[in-house]
Amino acid sequence: MNIQENISILPLNTFRMNGRARFLAVYESTDELRYILQHKAELFGNKNIPVLCIGEGSNLLFTKDFEGVLLRSSMRRARAVRETADEVFIEADAGLCMDDLIAQLTDMQLYGLENLSYIPGTVGASAVQNVGAYGVEAKDVIDQVRVLNIQDLNEITLSQADCRFGYRDSCFKHGQGKKYIVSAVTYRLSKQPVYHLEYGQLSQQLPSQPTANQIRQAVIRIRQSKLPDVHKVGSAGSFFKNPVVSKDVYNNLSHSYIDIPSYSVGDGSEYKIPAAWLIEKSGCKSFAVGDATVWQPQPLVLVNQHNAEPQDIVQLAQMIVNRVNRQFGIELQREVIYI
Ligand SMILES: Cc1cc2nc3c(=O)[nH]c(=O)nc-3n(C[C@H](O)[C@H](O)[C@H](O)COP(=O)(O)OP(=O)(O)OC[C@H]3O[C@@H](n4cnc5c(N)ncnc54)[C@H](O)[C@@H]3O)c2cc1C
C-alpha cells in the first residue's frame, strides 16, 4: 500500500486540471483496501474523511481541491475463469487499463469488446460508467461484477441484472450502489465473431469478415481522427450525453429541422439525438472561456487547450446547455462527473 499526502491531482485526471488532493491511497489487494477503510482514523487522522475511488480520471472534472482520500487500485491481472464451447469468461481486476485488456482479447480472437477499443480508463469504471461506443456497451458483455461494500467491508458478487445498467449509468451511481467499490469484472467473450459494424464508418473500413483485431484497428483509426489525444490535450471525452426524447418532441423538431439526425431507441417510442449535432447547429462550436474550448472535429468534447481553470470548463458547459435549451427546448445532461 502506498499513501501520499497533499498531492497534485494533475497526473490523476485527463482534463489536466491542476489542484490538490488531501490523500492518495494506492492499494494492491482487496485486503489492503479493507485495511485502509477500517483504519481511516489512524491513517488519515479522521474516521469520517470522505473517500473517492478513481481509475484513470478520464471522466472526471475536479472543480476544486479534494479534501479526502482518493483510492486507486494497482491490481491489474486478468484470467480466464470459465469456458464453454462458444464462450470464454474473463475476470479482470478493476485497476487494469480497459484498452490493454481489449488488446489481449483481440489477440486471442475473442469477440465482444473490440468496438470499445481505445476508450481511456479502467476495467472498474467500465462497469460504473457502462462505457459505450460504436453500438456496443460494456453491459452487453459483462457477466458479473465483484464489489467491496465500504460499510460492512464484505465482498459480494453482483449479477449483470443487479448492476441495473443504463445509458452511461449503473447502480454504482445511485443510492446504496454508491457504497460499492468494484474489485473485478467478469466479461463473457465469444469465440465466434459477433459483429456490430453498423455505426460510424466502421463497415466501410473493413473486409466482409473482419477479425477482432481488424475491427480494433479500424476503431482506433477512426477515434484518433476525431478525438483529442489524451497525452496532448486535456479532455474527458464526451462532455454531454446524447439526449433521448419522446416521439412527439422528435416529430416537432423534425418539422423545423429536416436534417436532424436520430436513432430510434427501445420500442421505437423514443429517439436519441446526437448532442454534437445540437451543439453545432446552435452555433456553440466557436464558444470558448479562457483556454476551455469546444473540440472542432467532435463538438461533444470540451477541451482544456493549455491552462484552463475548472470554472472555465464549468462556465463553457453551462453556456452550451443554455444555448441548446433555448434553441431546441432540450436540456443537455452531463456525462462528465464533477468532483
Ligand atoms: C479522449 C476520451 C475519449 C472517451 N471516449 C469514451 C467513449 O467512447 N465512450 C465512453 O463511454 N466513455 C468515453 N470516455 C470517458 C471515460 O474514458 C470512461 O468513462 C471511463 O470508463 C472512465 O474510466 P476511469 O478509469 O478513468 O474512471 P474515472 O474517470 O477515474 O472515474 C469515473 C467514475 O467511476 C468511479 N470509479 C472508478 N473506478 C471505480 C471502482 N473501482 N469502483 C467504484 N467506482 C469507481 C469514479 O468514482 C467515478 O465516479 C472518454 C474519455 C476521454 C478522455
Give pLDDT, residue 215. Answer: 97
- Ligand 1 probe mutation, 14, 128, 182, 235, most atoms within 8 A of CB: 128
Which pLDDT value is given to residue 303?
A: 98
Choosing from 168, 183, 188, 216, which is the catalytic residue?
168
Please state which architecture CATH assigns to domain 234-338.
Alpha-Beta Complex (3.90)
CB atoms within 10 A of CB 149: 14
Question: pLDDT-derived band of residue 199, with 50, 70 and 90 as boundaries?
Answer: confident
Q: What's the average model confidence in pLDDT over 24-29? A: 98
In whole angstroms, what is the distance from residue 155 CA to residue 178 CA?
14
Measured in Å, residue 238 CA sits from the centre of ligand 1 at 11
Q: At CA 127, angle to CA 111 and CA 292, rounded to 5? A: 105
Domain 2-73 has what CATH class? alpha beta
CATH for 78-226?
A: 3.30.465.10
Confidence of residue 198 (pLDDT cuts 50, 70, 90): confident
Catalytic, 168? Answer yes
Q: 219 and 118 in contact (C-beta within 8 Å)?
A: yes
Q: Mean pLDDT in the chain?
A: 96
pLDDT on residue 131:
97
**β pairing state of 87-93 and 78-83:** antiparallel
For residues 98-123, give the mean pLDDT: 98
Amino acid at 260: I
**Where are the domains positioned within the chain?**
2-73, 78-226, 234-338
What band does 161 get if pLDDT is binned at 50, 70 and 90? very high
Residue 268 in this model has a pLDDT that exceeds 90: no
For atom 51 of ligand 1, which residue has the closest CA? 237
Q: Is the pLDDT of residue 239 over 80?
A: yes
**Ligand 1 atom 27: the closest Cα is on which residue?**
55
Q: For ligand 1, what atom is nearest to the CA of residue 123? A: 25
pLDDT of residue 263: 86
Tell me, using a 6 A CB cutoff, whether residue 117 lines ligand 1.
no
* Same-fold call for 2-73 versus 78-226: no
**C-alpha 115 to ligand 1 mean position (Å):** 16
- Which of the residue ranges 205-209, 221-225, 321-325 has the most confident prediction, judged by mean pLDDT? 321-325
* Average pLDDT of the residues in 154-164: 98
Contact 57 CB / ligand 1 (< 6 Å): yes
pLDDT for 189? 98
What's the CA-to-centroid distance between 113 and ligand 1, angstroms? 16
Cα–ligand 1 centroid distance for 59 (angstroms): 4
Best probe residue, ligand 1, of 129, 170, 240 (max atoms within 8 Å of C-beta)? 129
